[in-house]
Amino acid sequence: MSSESELTEPSSDEYEIEPAQEDSKKRKPKPSSTYTIKNSLKQPTTASYPTDWLAKQMKSGDIKVDPEYQRNVVWSDAKQSKLIDSILRNFYVPPVLFCISEDSSGNQTRICIDGKQRLTSIRRFLDGLIPHKDGKLSLYFKQADGTKAVRLLPEPLRKQFRNKTLVCIEYRDLSPIHEREMFQRVQLGMALTTGEQLQSFDGPMAQFAHKMHSELFDNAHIETPMCLAIERGRGFQNLIQIIACIARLPEYTHATHIQQTKLLQCQGMSTEKIKEIQHKSERALRLLKTIATNSELCSVAFSLPPRVSRNSPVEFCFSVLLIAMRMDNPGTGPKQLAEAIGEMRAAMRAVHVDMRSNSAVSGSFWNYITGAHHETPQPGPSSQSTSATPSMKKLKINAPPTPQSPTRSNRPEPSKPLTDTKPRPKAMPRSESSAQFQSIFSTPNAGPSQAL
């Protein structure tokens, strides 16, 4: 036997793995492409401006802090004073964001996209309208006209504040779409309300809504006689809700936030449809303005019941919808519409204690406008009224149970005499408006709504 093993040395070829046969059907990898950013903006520039220069530019109009999409001044005096304290003590203040546009003469205008609250606080401090607070001590930059004597900030500190600088980020030649998108992306501080978010949209419907908002609230100030809350975009949001409902007439569908957004973006709407909605909405809203600006008609349409301080958004919305549905009826003018609005509001408040924009309240309003309420029984409490959907055909209101005399079969056999054996009197309406509502709802062929 050989001393060497009979096992032969393994050949390196035996351990070589044969390359796998490539599938002829397998696709060859595509050459890798370099990813690029599309639709990017021009690189912004950074600058620092003294507070005194910023305030002067705001007064001259070279800095605009009130573009359509901007919200109102929402900072309280206390919060504005805290910003002044941060500037004086060199605490961090976020940059202000500008969009710079230039006219043919070379004049530049800066539009404030973010930082309106900060710029407004600086200007109000320099005008002597808010103080710098240090504990209980209040020091003003100057004494405002027509105000009582105040304690002033020492001159060295006033000079320091005038020379304090704010960092500003500046974009140039942004398109209106990019400008509004920038506003939506960079909001800092207090969160935007739904109405303020809707104000940032652009397009035919958004421009129309801004136009009507200016006509009704900025010029005519109908919120005062109508007792409406319009702060922080509420007035604009109510207008969008109304326009969205008018767009679906003669049917009623509650316009959700998504549907309001689609309306502002004009999704799926032709140019003819947009003009039709705008024309009908403008006619109805201007008739409302006629009623609201006439003291006699306004008292008929929008008088408030006791212990109620303002009209609700749902009353505002359905008052305009009633006008839109009936303004073309023969013999119907502002006086008849004002009377119909007042009667509708009285009838609804007799049924619904809580005037919120829910399916039950909306359904009651819509059925009143369309006349479906004539088929209903006498109303019961608001908590017992029900509605399947806002566009329901019947207004279902549970009537309060009426007392019944016990029969022999179900008369109780008390072990002792009952303390109250007198029959209960028939329930009476709780108020004059409730009595009016019961007469309307219980008389099939009569009612103020039929007169129109």
Q: What is the pLDDT along the chain (452 residues), one digit of tens a residue?
A: 444 444 455 554 544 545 555 555 556 666 567 888 888 888 999 999 999 999 999 999 899 988 877 777 878 899 999 999 999 999 999 999 999 988 888 888 999 988 899 999 999 999 999 999 988 899 999 988 777 788 999 999 999 999 999 999 999 988 888 888 788 777 654 566 777 778 778 788 888 988 988 888 888 888 888 888 887 778 888 898 899 999 988 888 888 888 888 888 888 889 899 999 999 999 999 999 999 999 899 989 898 888 888 888 888 899 999 999 989 889 889 999 999 999 999 888 888 877 887 888 888 888 888 886 555 444 444 444 434 333 443 444 444 454 554 555 455 555 555 445 555 555 444 445 445 554 544 444 444 444 43
Tell the residue number behind the tokens 């569908």, with chain if given: 253
On whether both 369 and 393 belong to a single domain, the answer is yes
**3 state DSSP class of 292:** helix
Q: Write b or e for each residue in 114-151: b if 16 or more Cβ atoms lie within 10 A of its Cβ, otherwise e.
A: bbbbbbbbbbbbbebbbbbeeeeeebbbeeeeeeeeee
440: left (phi over 0), alpha (psi -120 to 50) or beta: alpha
Q: Are residues 271 and 393 in the same domain?
A: yes
The answer on 206 and 94 residing in a single domain is no
Looking at the structure, tell me whether residues 215 and 67 fall in a common domain: no
10 Å Cβ neighbour count for 238? 24
| Count of structural domains, the chain | 2
- Rounded to whole angstroms, how far apart are CA atoms 372 and 364? 9
Instruction: Say which residues have a Cβ less than 8 Å from residue 240's Cβ, sequence separation at least 6.
Output: 198, 209, 255, 260, 263, 264
Give CB contacts under 8 A, 24+ apart, made by 397-404.
Answer: 397/351, 397/364, 397/441, 400/427, 402/426, 402/427
Cβ-based neighbours of 4, under 8 Å, separated by 6 or more: none
Residue 82 lies inside a defined structural domain of this protein: yes
Paired residues of 64 in beta bridges: 111
Residues 224 and 299 in one domain: yes
Indicate if 49 and 94 belong to the same structural domain. Answer: yes
Angstrom distance (rounded) from CA 117 to CA 163: 20
Of 144, 168, 190, the one marking the end of a domain is: 190
Question: By residue range, what is the domain housing residue 435?
Answer: 192-399+431-452
- Its pTM stands at 0.49
- Check whether residue 290 and residue 185 sit in a common domain: no
CA distances from 243 to 90, 283, 293, 440 (A): 48, 11, 21, 29
If asked whether residues 268 and 237 sit together in one domain, one would say: yes
Same domain for 51 and 173?
yes
Are residues 245 and 385 located together in one domain of the fold? yes
Same domain, 196 and 171: no
Same domain membership, residue 219 and residue 132? no
Q: For residue 334, say if its preceding peptide bond is cis, omega within 30 degrees of 0.
A: no
